[in-house]
Amino acid sequence: MISLLQGMQGMGGGPEMRMARDLALIAPEIAVLLTAVGALVFEMLRLPRVALPFTVVGLLAATALALPLLGTETTAFMDTFRVGPLGVWAKLALLPATALCALLARAEVRGTDREGTVYALLSFTALGALALAGAGDVMFLVLGVLLSSLGSFALVAYPRDERSTEAAMKYFVFGSVTGAVMIFGLTHWFGATGSTLLSELGRLEGAPLAAAFGLVAVAAGLGYKAAIAPFHFWAPDAYDGAPVSVAAFLSVVPKVGALFGLAQVASDLPAGTGWPLVLAALAALSMTYGNLAALAQENVVRLLAYSSIAQSGYFLLGVVAVGQSDLAVPALVVFAAAYAAMNLGAFAVVVRTGRRLGDLAGLGYESPWTGAAMVVFLISLVGIPPLAGFFGKLLLFGAAIDAGFVWLAVVGILNSVLSLGVYLRVVVPMYRRQKLVAARPAPVARGVQAAALALTLGIGLLAQIFFGGGG
């Protein structure tokens, strides 16, 4: 594909050739769109058993189409969409994660009304996340937020009971407000630069007021999608009201897409506008608040929701360093892949056990393999070597220090220590004998758990080899 694209570029010329090149660059996104539409068709034909494998195969095919784009750094559609490290690696991380979430959803929605719709909505929402990760224009930010939000609202409301309906309504209302704020604020960037392209944001250097309005807008809109404090209020209720598989999906795919979109903005926004300090403050707030709130939870899903808020803070360490440290993009990529694996793995265990801490009591004795897997996922979230989470956080801390934010790296390290107390609240009951609870067989969820465990260990091993060899 790379040689084909280069050939198209060399031929230059007409609009037809440019259109063919641009379509080739977004082949993964087109594949995801066709996957979503196909899942809907199979749902209408009352063939949910076909919709699931079609969705998984389609998402994996889209992942394969993204592989040839590695090393590419260009734009499509008049610079509005970027095909570079952030966007390509987002595809390679988020599309397999979406496929795993579709499989995990099978354990919960099998046999329910409109089962195939769930798989279609997961694909549509993932497409919105990819639009955010590759955004080269503020309109792509708006499009990505809207596309990923509409699918997410429906997924949260899917059980159609009182709890899920209330959670979806809160999610929708909060999203509508932050979306409106985002669109309004971005008009100030357009007014000051005369363009919606992110590459033109350098013109904001002499327009501090317009820069501030736009920054608040982006922080609100993307902070809402990524569950960054103080834009996180929807997350605990939405995670708890939705099926556990949907909560797992929300904690990874839209979140990473939004954070990568924020990194795209940060790469062009002049540092003189003060955005690094603003994002650093949000990072410290998210990490600290998320971990402290998680300490008080008795519901594992809500605990993981607050943990997800804290993890958004860690992601922001890398975003803060974009343009100021060469480690920023690698750190974001490694941590995104690690986070997807270990978080999906933890949720897969919850699907097989239950939502409350008491549901995990004695799990380590009754189901030793599942208990050990849960421990691996949780200590990886803490950042204990040699697991994937450790190397992701190590790179993030290094990027923050390299960018001059030593104090933020210290806050991150202290919060990692605090998070150990959070996850011990899950681990300790698992190894008490007073109540023995075996994990449900749920073969599909067990398969997702196994895949997530392999990735958590594998990413850690590869990172150790790569960075150890480099050192």
pLDDT, tens digit (0-9, with 9 covering 90-100), for 127-161: 999 999 999 999 999 999 999 998 999 999 988 88
CB 79 within 8 A of CB 199: yes
How many Cα neighbours within 13 Å face the side chain of 328? Answer: 25
Write down the pLDDT at residue 207: 82
The residue to which tokens 């499509």 are assigned:
76
Two tokens at 246? 């949907």
Rounded Cα–Cα distance for residues 385 and 281 (Å): 27
Rounded Cα–Cα distance for residues 251 and 282 (Å): 18
CB 126 within 8 A of CB 59: yes
Write down the pLDDT at residue 49: 83
**pLDDT-derived band of residue 471, with 50, 70 and 90 as boundaries?**
very low
Two tokens at 228? 């960054």
pLDDT(231) > 50: yes
Q: How confident is the model over 115-120, as a mean pLDDT?
A: 90
pLDDT, tens digit (0-9, with 9 covering 90-100), for 260-275: 999 999 988 887 778 8
The pTM for the full model equals 0.93
Write down the pLDDT at residue 436: 59
pLDDT, tens digit (0-9, with 9 covering 90-100), for 154-185: 999 988 888 888 889 989 998 889 888 999 88
CB atoms within 10 A of CB 450: 14
pLDDT, tens digit (0-9, with 9 covering 90-100), for 392-444: 999 999 999 999 999 999 999 999 999 999 999 999 888 877 665 666 666 78
Least confident of 75-79, 110-114, 410-414: 110-114
pLDDT(31) > 90: yes
Q: How confident is the model over 42-50, as a mean pLDDT?
A: 86
Question: Quick one: which of 57, 73, 51 has its CA closest to 2?
Answer: 73
Write down the pLDDT at residue 467: 64
Write down the pLDDT at residue 7: 52
**pLDDT-derived band of residue 378, with 50, 70 and 90 as boundaries?**
very high
HEC profile for 170-187? HHHHHHHHHHHHHHHHHH
Rounded Cα–Cα distance for residues 306 and 249 (Å): 15
CB 332 within 8 A of CB 283: no
Long-range contacts of 13-18 (CB under 8 A, 24+ apart): none
Per DSSP, the residues of 124-185 read: HHHHHHHHHHTB-BHHHHHHHHHHHHHHHHHHHTTT-SHHHHHHHHHHHHHHHHHHHHHHHH
CB 130 within 8 A of CB 98: no
Q: How confident is the model over 366-391, as a mean pLDDT?
A: 90
pLDDT(9) > 80: no
Write down the pLDDT at residue 160: 82
Strand, coil or helix: 313: helix
Write down the pLDDT at residue 438: 61
Write down the pLDDT at residue 338: 93
pLDDT(27) > 90: yes
**pLDDT-derived band of residue 3, with 50, 70 and 90 as boundaries?**
low
Question: Quick one: which of 92, 125, 111, 88 has its CA closest to 5?
Answer: 88
Write down the pLDDT at residue 470: 45
